[in-house]
Chains A and B, each alone.
Chain A
Amino acid sequence: SQTIHQWPATLVQPVGSPLSLECTVEGTSNPNLYWYRQAAGRGLQLLFYSVGIGQISSEVPQNLSASRPQDRQFILSSKKLLLSDSGFYLCAWSPGTSGRPEQYFGPGTRLTVT
């Protein structure tokens, strides 16, 4: 079976500090990978998605970047955090070539920028 991991689970960082969140998927190959942000009381905002190694599509220009160094690894980064970067960050995957459209989500990372 497939599993998706995210770490850390929680993070408190000062404004201006760097950020690195990691997401890995097990039990599948060539997944599509996604990063979402969920602000308090709001829906999901798609930040980035990737259909393969080194292929990143950005949905919202902002203070964040993403990378996919390996097939099942997706990293969300920032060089200098802003207060507005606080939120719940979710990674998700979907089957890349099977034609199945559903997504499977990780447990999330709660980021608080102080």
Chain B
Amino acid sequence: AQSVTQLGSHVSVSEGALVLLRCNYSSSVPPYLFWYVQYPNQGLQLLLKYTSAATLVKGINGFEAEFKKSETSFHLTKPSAHMSDAAEYFCAVSLSSGGSYIPTFGRGTSLIVHP
């Protein structure tokens, strides 16, 4: 079984401030982990993924995430927030099931960026 918990349904930051979105997972085996971003009325876009290679994963738009097995965490960070980063962010965990991957998504965190 696998599950994902995103701490905080809303995170508010000022433009230029550090962005930190938290994600903790539960999995019986080492999982694949993802962050997706969703802008209003659009589909989800893959930001980055962890697939058991480097624990620090760099993604698009200046985001990165670090896989910490001991903490079962995969938090998303960005050094300096831009207004254009305002969106919904989803963490997901995925395990193989008969050769296919069925992900479990967190409930999402809405990032609000103030000028």
Contacts and interface: CB of A to CB of B under 8 A. Distances in A.
18 contacts: A32-B100, A32-B101, A43-B107, A43-B108, A44-B44, A46-B102, A46-B103, A51-B98, A51-B99, A88-B41, A90-B43, A101-B34, A105-B45, A106-B43, A108-B41, A108-B42, A108-B43, A110-B41
Contacts of A96: 100
Given A43-B106, A43-B107, A96-B100, A103 B46 contact: yes
Contacts of B42: 107-108
A86 interface: no
Interface in B13-52: 32, 34, 36, 41-46, 49, 51
Given A88-B41, A92-B43, 10 more contacts: A42-B108, A44-B90, A90-B43, A101-B103, A102-B34, A102-B46, A102-B49, A105-B43, A105-B44, A106-B43
Given A101-B94, A107-B42, A42 B32 contact: no
A51 B98 CA distance: 10
Most central of A46, A92, A101, A110 by chain B CB within 10 Å = A101
Nearest to B32: A101
Contacts of B94: 101
Interface of A: 32, 42-44, 46, 49, 51, 88, 90, 92, 94, 96-97, 101-108, 110
B100 to A, nearest CB: 5
A44 B93 CA distance: 13
Interface string B77-115: 000000000000010001010111111011110000000
Contacts of A105: 36, 43-45
Most central of B46, B96, B101 by chain A CB within 10 Å = B101
A108 B44 CA distance: 9
Contact of A43 (B90, B96, B101): B90
B51 A101 contact: yes
Given A51-B100, A101-B94, A43 B105 contact: yes
Contact of B102 (A43, A49, A88): A49
A15 to B, nearest CB: 23
